[in-house]
Amino acid sequence: MEHVLILTRNILSDGELQEKLQFLNYEVFCSSSLFDYLIYQQKYPDLMGHFQFIIFSETVSNAEIKLLLPLFRNKTKLLFRKTDDTSESEELKKLEGVTSINLKTDSLREKLMDTKYLHANQANFRKTGIDSSFDRKIKIPEQLDQLNLSRLEKKVFNELYNSNGEVITREELCNSLWGTGVTNSHLSHLSSVVKKLRKKIEKIDLTEEAIRTVWGEGYQLSPDFFA
């Protein structure tokens, strides 16, 4: 049985969500004290290792979620945001790695099950090699061969992969790609390259949140590539 943690400011506000998750055979824990601990202590407690899915309640603001996201870096957690409609706001789209859900039973069922099977499939990936832009071999899942990466996309991927999961700043990537320093044009172009690369990888369900945006720092490749 999968375990779900609902982080909330008011446990009474999420009773319906908890009931629907239990109806779908998830074991649910709803906590405001754990949310407060995360906000004020900025630490990731061992207790959270028990949960596969984490849902941020509507009582939690987007700004608070953004503040907490660095705590989940390198954690194999599936993050969700409860909303009151089916469309994602522009603000929510800025929360990298957070998927919106609503109280409709079919939406809950499909989104949770999709992520469950996605992660199950990731465990079966076989590693292979492709030529990098530096004429070297790197080990990556064989599905990447299907993506027809552009020269810049391949170079960005190789830089992130060779960092062994560490964050690479935008400045470092710009210098690697163009070698002429950082400009607004380069930063905009880099953002576009990363966005296209992320979509290509996620389009074939290779991994969820393939490239993570670490706010104020740079980009980081998903830990799934180093499993």
**Same-domain pairing of 110 and 137:** no
Q: What is the mean pLDDT of residues 172-185?
A: 86
Domain boundary, last residue among 78, 94, 122: 122
pLDDT interval class at 100 (50, 70, 90): confident
Dist. CA 92–CA 146, nearest whole Å: 30
Dist. CA 174–CA 225, nearest whole Å: 23
Average pLDDT, the chain: 77
Place of tokens 């044009």: 185
**Same-domain pairing of 188 and 118:** no
pLDDT interval class at 136 (50, 70, 90): very low
CA angle 200, 202, 206 (to 5 degrees): 110
* pLDDT at residue 159, as a whole number: 87
Q: What type of residue sits at position 62?
A: N
Residue 76 contacts residue 48 (beta carbons within 8 Å): no
* pLDDT at residue 146, as a whole number: 63
Inform me whether the pLDDT recorded for 7 exceeds 90: yes
List the one residue out of 194, 206, 191 whose CA is nearest residue 145. 206
Inform me whether the pLDDT recorded for 114 exceeds 60: yes
Inform me whether the pLDDT recorded for 165 exceeds 70: yes
Greater pLDDT, 193 or 132: 193
- Number of domains observed in the structure of the chain: 2
Query: Residue 117 sits in which domain range?
Result: 3-122
Dist. CA 70–CA 64, nearest whole Å: 11
Greater pLDDT, 131 or 121: 121
**Same-domain pairing of 188 and 83:** no
Task: List the structure tokens of 182.
Answer: 């950082």
Dist. CA 112–CA 77, nearest whole Å: 12
pTM: 0.51
Dist. CA 34–CA 36, nearest whole Å: 5
**Same-domain pairing of 67 and 145:** no
**Same-domain pairing of 200 and 110:** no
Domain boundary, last residue among 106, 122, 138: 122
Q: What is the mean pLDDT of residues 153-166?
A: 85
